Structure 1
Amino acid sequence: MSIVGVLVATVIGMVLGALWYSPVLFGNRWMQSLGKTRETLGSPTLPMIGSVFASLLSAIGVALLHSWIGVDSFTLSLGLGLALGLLIIFPALLSDNLFCDWGWDLLFIQSGYRVLSVVLMSLAIYWIGA
C-alpha cells in the first residue's frame, strides 16, 4: 500500500468536497435540502476534522482493496471505484434516505460526492502506485 497514494487520495476527497459543497456546485442546494443557511450551520471546525478522518479512512480502504485484489490497470481501478460507489455507498445512503425521508435532492448530492470521491481515490491510488 502506498502511503503517498493514500495521502493524495485523502486530499482529493477533501478538495472535491470543498468544491462539491461550495456555492459553485451544490452548496446552496445542499443547505436548502437541509433547511439550513450559512449562519445556522455552525462552526465548521469539528465537521472538517471529522471529514479529513473520514476521507483518510476511505482512502486507506480503497488502497487496501487495490493491494488485496492486485489492481494493475486503469480499467480495474475505475471498475473498483465504481463498484464501491454504486454498489456499496449509494445503496447504503439510499436506505438511510428511505427510512429518514431526507429527500431526493439530498440523496443525490450526498451520494454523488461519495461515489465520485471513491472513484477518484481509486484512480489516484492506481496512478501513484503504478
Structure 2
Amino acid sequence: MMHINYWAVFTAALIPLMLGFLWYHPKVFGKIWMQEVGLTDAQMKGAMAGVFVFTVILSFLMGFFLQYVTIHQFGAVGMIGGDEMNANPSYHAFMKDYGTAYRSLGHGALHSLMAGVLFVFPIMAINAMFERKSWKYTMINTGYWTLCITIMGGIICGWHDVKHFYW
C-alpha cells in the first residue's frame, strides 16, 4: 500500500531554503546573481521571514510532486485508479514483489536530476530569454534548482517510512 511520507516531503521541502543560503551566498554565486538580476545589498536586506515561510510552503508542493517522479509504485497505484481495496489480486502480488523496488536515495536523485536537466533547465532558459537575462543568470538558477530537486528526490525516494532511510 502506498502511503505519502509527509516527514520525507517536509524534510525535502527544507532543502531549497538551506541550499539557497549556501548557493546564493556572496562568496559562492550571490554577488554574480545579484549583479545579473540588478539587485543591490540594500535591496536584499529587510524582512525576509515571509519569503522564507512561503519558500518552504512552495517547496513542500514540489516535494509532493517529486514523489510521483521518483517513486514508481505510485504509477502502479494510478493504473488501478488509486483504489487499492478494489484492485485485482495481480496488483497486490505485484506490490508484494516490487513494493520497494528502486526505492533508494540514488534512484530518486537520478530521476530528479533528469527532471532538472530535461524540465527545469528548458523552463528557466525560456523565461530568461524572454526576460533578456544572461546565460550566466540562467545557469546559476538552473544549477540551484536542479541540485535542489536532485537532493529532494533522493530524500523522498530513499526514505520509505519514518524508521527507514535507504541509500
Q: So what's the TM-score if we normalise by structure 2?
A: 0.70
Number of residue equivalences: 130
Deviations 1:34-64 (CA, angstroms, capped at 9, x unpaired):
1111202354233323322221111111123
Q: Which has the higher contact order (CA 8 A, sep 6+)?
A: 1
2:156 to 104, 125, 128: 125
Give the gaps of 5 or more residues in structure 1: none
Q: Residue type matched to 2:30 in 1? A: G
Q: So what's the TM-score if we normalise by structure 1?
A: 0.87
Deviation at residue 18 of structure 1 after TM alignment? 1.4
Q: Residue type matched to 1:99 in 2? A: F
Which structure: larger Rg? 2
- Structure richer in helix, relative to its length: 1
Q: Residue type matched to 1:112 in 2? A: G
| Structure 1 residue 21 corresponds to structure 2 residue 24 | yes
| Structure 1 residue 108 corresponds to structure 2 residue 124 | no
CA contact (8 A) 2:103 2:157 kept: yes
> Within 5 A, what are the aligned runs for 1:29-48?
29-41=32-44, 43-48=47-52
Deviation at residue 71 of structure 1 after TM alignment? 4.3
Give the gaps of 5 or more residues in structure 2: 76-100, 161-165
CA contact (8 A) 1:2 1:63 kept: no
Structure 2 counterpart of 1:56: 60
CA contact (8 A) 2:120 2:145 kept: yes
Q: CA RMSD in A?
A: 1.9
Structure 2 counterpart of 1:92: 123
Structure 1 counterpart of 2:98: none
Deviation at residue 74 of structure 1 after TM alignment? 4.3
Name the % identity: 26
Q: How many Å separate the matches in 2 of 1:10 and 1:103?
A: 28
